[in-house]
Structure formats: structure tokens, C-alpha cells
Structure 1
């Protein structure tokens, strides 16, 4: 049985994306649902990791840096999916394809 990654959308991801991903049967939570609005990118990544969730973001530059920092420090995160800013339907489609093609274990780090 394939285990799909549990997902966590950051602040810049449309709430509609989470709704669309849930309609595909994916396990998604959001920054507003977790009451983590206003946290730094590092705090968001740490929070996602504490929940065992892959973070979804449009913020490529900062999260690439954080990924490299995590690797240098020997820390583990449960994945970072960076998606270009498109309409919510296109973003959800791309994420759906990716998480259907990769297991949760393949998305880690």
C-alpha cells in the first residue's frame, strides 16, 4: 500500500489549494488551521517536521536555503514541495501528480 505524504500549506498558499487536495483524498492542514500565522519560514518548517508533514510553499529561495541548512545540521524534514504561483486548480493538480508518484518516504528531505 502506498503511503501518501501528509501535507501542510504555508501562509502564501491559497486555502482553495488545501480544499482541492482534500477532495483528492489527501491529508492536508494549513497555517490558519494550526494557528501558526506569522511564524518565520524556519518555524514553519520546524512545525511541519514536528507533525511529520511535508510543507507546500511558493517560496523557493527561502526554503531551498532552509533545506540546505537542515542537511548541513543533519536534521530531517518531511519534505518541501515548492510550486510556482499559478491558479489554485493548477497548483493542486501539480501537487496531486507529485504526491501520487512519490511515497512519503521518497519525499523526506
Structure 2
């Protein structure tokens, strides 16, 4: 079944306020704290996002770029990895909304995007 809107999982480094801002605009967003995933490894965070059919939003470019390469090499799917430069939640939201309004969840599959 196709999914139109991208659902987001925010890893523990992303300000939880962003999830509230996204939900206020009608998007599905879950934080690591809400999902009881605090303290998990990056691989576990990505696996959790995959299990929930969510793209992951992170500030951790180095580790998640490496994980994206591992997934690619293993021909393993994920629902997208979005890297955000550390900025205020409002600025990240502004950049994120451009991406969310441009791509469907199906188009985001296996993609790596930088905002």
C-alpha cells in the first residue's frame, strides 16, 4: 500500500518541540523519548524508524551516513534519512516543510536528504 505523507521519527538529539510543531501542521511525528528509545544505538534508532515505516530526522550526519551506506550495500530498505543542521526548531521546521511538501513517503524511501 502506498503512503503519501512522510512520517517522521526524531532521534534523541533533535529538539522535541519540533515534533509538536510538525503535528500542529498535520504531520505524524514521534520522538525517541515518546518511543522509549532513549540511549539506543544509531543502528537501533534507524531500525526502530524502519519498523514504524518512518523517515528518521537527525543531526548526526557522520554516523547515519555510514549506516545509510551499510543499508545500501546490503540492499536493505529504509524510509529515508534526513539530516538537519543544528538550528532553532522553527528554522528546522521551515526547511523540513519544504521537503515534506515536495516528496511523498514512497519517494523518500531509501533517500538521504540534507536540510
Is TM more than 0.5 here? yes
Partner of 1:77: 78
Paired position in structure 2 for 1:59: 60
- Report 1:31-42 matches (<5 A): 31-42=32-43
Correspondence for 1:13 = 14
Q: How many Å apart are 1:50 and its aligned residue?
A: 0.7
Q: How many Å separate the matches in 2 of 1:48 and 1:26?
A: 15
Contact kept in structure 2, 1:24 and 1:96, CA below 8 Å: no
Aligned structure 1 segments of 4 or more residues deviating by more than 4 angstroms: none
Aligned partners of 1:3, 1:16: CA distance in 2, in Å? Answer: 24
Give the 3-state SS of the residue equivalent to 1:106 in structure 2: helix
Give the unaligned 5+ runs of structure 1: none
* Structure-2-length-normalised TM-score: 0.91
How many residues end up aligned between the 2 structures? 108
In structure 2, the partner of 1:25 is 26
Question: How far apart are residue 93 of structure 1 and its match?
Answer: 1.1
Measured after TM superposition, the shift of residue 18 of structure 1 is 0.6
Distance in 1, Cα, partners of 2:101 & 2:21: 14
Richer in helix (by share): 1
> TM-score normalized by structure 1?
0.96
- In structure 2, C-alpha distance between the alignment counterparts of 1:97 and 1:23, rounded to whole Å: 16
